[in-house]
Amino acid sequence: MNDVRIAHLSAGDVSLVVAQQAASLPRIVHWGARIDVSADDLQGFVMAEERPGLSTDSDVPYYATILPEHSRGWFGRPGLSAHRAGAAWAPRFHAAPIRVAGMPVETGVATVGAGSVVVDARDDWAQIELHLEIDLSASGLLRTRALIRNTGEDEAPLEIAEVMLSLPLPLRAGEVLDFSGRWAHERIPQRHPIVRGIHTRPSRRGRTGLDATTVIAAGVPGFASDAGEVWVCHVGFSGNHEHAIERGDGFLAFRGGELLLPGEIRLTTGEEYVTPWVYGSYGDGLDSAASRYHDHLRARSRSSRRERPVTLNVWEAVYFDQDPATLIDLAERGAELGVERYVLDDGWFRGRRDDRSGLGDWTPDPVGWPDGLRPLADRVRQLGMEFGLWVEPEMINEDSDLARAHPDWILRARPELPPRYRFQQVLDLTHPEAYSHILERLDDLVTSIGVSYLKWDHNRDLVEAGHPVSGAPAVHEQTLAVYRLIDELRARHPDLEIESCASGGGRVDLGILERTDRIHPSDSHDPIDRFHILRWTGLLVPPEMMGSHVASAVSSTTGRTSSLHYRCAVALLGHFGIEWDIRGLEDADRETLSSWISLYRRHRRLISTGRAVGGPADHSAPAVRGVVSPEGTEALYTIVTPATSPDALARVRLTGLAPERHYRIAVDAPESLGPPWQVPGWLGAPGLDEHGPAPVLSGALLSRVGLEFPTFHPERAAVVHLQAAD
């Protein structure tokens, strides 16, 4: 192994060690806790791990690389599955020396901080070129992707069936956490031991589905929010994709990539396919790993560049029953409460009286809006609010002027149309004229009305999504077309903000999040379900990029009734807003809601910049979500009581605090959390004779030992604000 090349990248508390022997593809030797060792130590370590070959006469010992190769004796899932008319199906790549920070490493060890490792490889016989990128960000987030190019000169295209990149994990990571879900109940956790074979979570809905896992977390058994080594992985793509954990003989890895439909990628001479980025985040506890994803998004999103405006969305206030007078009344009442952004939802465009018609005809309905939307938008701005608008640009109703004029603009895999869902079909944005039409309509709406915010919905899974002329699968190209559409619209309107909404919590992935400003975590505003949806979505998405609205007392999705205080407390740690008919508010509720809006506005900078933390996932114990300032000088937590508990009191740890600091505790708990004799004095709850001065306790006690919290009354909440006292 004298010709081994090693790259050692370190950022924060993470190290990545990549090794390449001779002309092989690179492999990850270590990805995890930071190691500060010499180049000689690293070289000796890699050489000490030299393996014998598969047999005594094997030329090259095989290690599972970033892209494992069947042709070199890998019997797990191949990294690249491709063929050319049935041949060239077992590529064997010969790689040039790895490049670190743009410089080739001919031999020895290259040590850098954050940066990239790049390698170019080729198989001259199969006539395939490969370009691999491996990046470690300044916050320690790992990502990798591959480019495959067809260099063959014959007429047979190179058909790519699958590219599944590999991020190795240590065998001590024996437990996996992933997620399922459904409409209005997304991100349901499921935790189980890792077993031999492949545990795979495909998302085949043409978008990141409501049942998609979003992330897979693999860690040491018992890993928790604030303890235990864990690796949280994600495929950053909004179309079909797959997350998987593969366990073999001495091998464990996260496998991820785009899930390609039959014949979807056929490369002619010189054409190339670029995979989505596959991400991995290491941490001591889930919160540590999640913070790297949050840093990644905050560095790219305009959500971190200005305070998040309190938002009023009118959907659950009026549904399709829209008229200018009612909507202006809602705007005026919202402004009085402190609302800063007003969003007109579905129902404003031509022929839209229900969900059966109108999608595709993006002009104001002349009957409902005889003067157009500009008067409403102008009134909203006069009241000091921004004006936002709901659109669903990727969809089309068969009952629409656009569908009647251009039936050939509807995706289909056969002559007849696919089954309808919500009475709608999918517009073929890969068609140049359809793409241009939608771009110009959106551009005109933003310009003519003065729209500063688009709620961009996507309410239909893609079924039989083929190109209308050929019937060939179109999900891959449709996804890239949506990316181009959003990118072009934002290039034309640099200050425009966009929310990604997909039947609620669908399409939550880094592909869409890197070009939008927030997501809609769920169509359910029921605070009991919503608390956990926000918690688990937060493994990928920072709080300020998750819409978090207060809805009516009776949930429209579950029928459950909750107090206003409880609903507001759950919504606080996110992008706060209202989705409720506020015209009928009693004076007391109006005052309560206004006070919560003021509380959010006081703390929103902390929410948008702080490190998110969470508590245990025990549904019989109090649940916790919080944010801690980067300097550790301030923190904000929401604590909610469980629906039922065998205990009247339980300890709650406020994690993420600096252990050496002391914190002054302030509590907002206007509701009774239990009988007075069971409410600890630190809560300052009603019914106690003496509240005394605000307690001051050490971060070590608060985060490692915790404070007793009453669980006597179910579905109650307290918001705890801590400020450093030293």
Indicate which residues carry an active-site annotation: 457, 523
Inter-residue contact 158 to 152 (CB < 8 Å)? yes
459 is in an annotated binding site: yes
Inter-residue contact 578 to 313 (CB < 8 Å)? yes
346 is in an annotated binding site: yes
Distance separating alpha carbons of residues 310 and 597, to the nearest angstrom: 7
**Which residues does residue 388 pair with via DSSP β-bridges, in sequence order?**
343, 453
89 is in an annotated binding site: no
Distance separating alpha carbons of residues 536 and 259, to the nearest angstrom: 24
The SS3 of residue 393 is: coil
Strands 99-100 and 103-104: antiparallel
183 is in an annotated binding site: yes
What does residue 545 show for φ and ψ, rounded to 5 degrees?
A: -100, 10
With a CB cutoff of 8 Å and minimum separation 6, the contacts of 480 are none
Amino acid at 582: I
With a CB cutoff of 8 Å and minimum separation 6, the contacts of 382 are none
371 is in an annotated binding site: no
150 is in an annotated binding site: no
- The whole-angstrom distance between residue 401's C-alpha and the CA centroid of its chain comes to 35
With a CB cutoff of 8 Å and minimum separation 6, the contacts of 413 are 464, 465, 466, 471, 473
With a CB cutoff of 8 Å and minimum separation 6, the contacts of 3 are 21, 22, 107
Inter-residue contact 580 to 551 (CB < 8 Å)? yes
Distance separating alpha carbons of residues 395 and 407, to the nearest angstrom: 13
Distance separating alpha carbons of residues 300 and 318, to the nearest angstrom: 35
461 is in an annotated binding site: no
691 is in an annotated binding site: no
Give buried/exposed letters for 618-635 (b at 16+ CB in 10 A, else e).
eeebbbbbbbbbeebbbb
313 is in an annotated binding site: no
> In which element (H, E) is residue 291 found?
helix 286-298
Q: How many residues does the chain have?
A: 726
Q: What is each CA distance from 340 to 301, 327, 331, 336, 561, in whole angstroms?
A: 20, 15, 10, 10, 27
What does residue 372 show for φ and ψ, rounded to 5 degrees?
A: 80, -175
Tokens 């900078």 sit at which residue? 605
Q: What share of the chain is helix, strand, coil (3-state, %, to 5)?
A: 25, 35, 45
With a CB cutoff of 8 Å and minimum separation 6, the contacts of 660 are 698, 699, 700
460 is in an annotated binding site: no
DSSP state of 413: S
Residues placed in the known binding site: 183, 345-346, 422, 455-459, 501, 523
Residues placed in the known binding site for substrate: 183, 345-346, 422, 455-459, 501, 523
